[in-house]
Amino acid sequence: MVITCWGSRGSIPVSGREYNKYGGDTTCLEILTQSDD
């Protein structure tokens, strides 16, 4: 199992150029498993 945290900047969505690199949205996780479940 591989868990990637793509966004964890905070719980309040924000926008603007200063947030383009790391994002400014709510938490986003990707979970990959070896099976097709």
Q: Is the pLDDT of residue 10 over 70?
A: no
Nearest-CA neighbor of 23 among 9, 35, 11? 9
pTM of the model: 0.46
Cα separations in angstroms, 15 against 4, 5, 26 = 22, 19, 12
Sign of CA dihedral 20, 24, 9, 7: negative
> Residue 14: inside a domain, yes or no?
yes
- Residue 32's φ and ψ, nearest 5 degrees, are -110, 135
> Residue 17: inside a domain, yes or no?
yes
Here the tokens at position 29 are 């996780």
Domain with 22, as residue range(s), is 2-32
Number of structural domains found in the chain:
1
Q: Calculate mean pLDDT across residues 6-17.
A: 75
Q: Is the pLDDT of residue 5 over 70?
A: yes
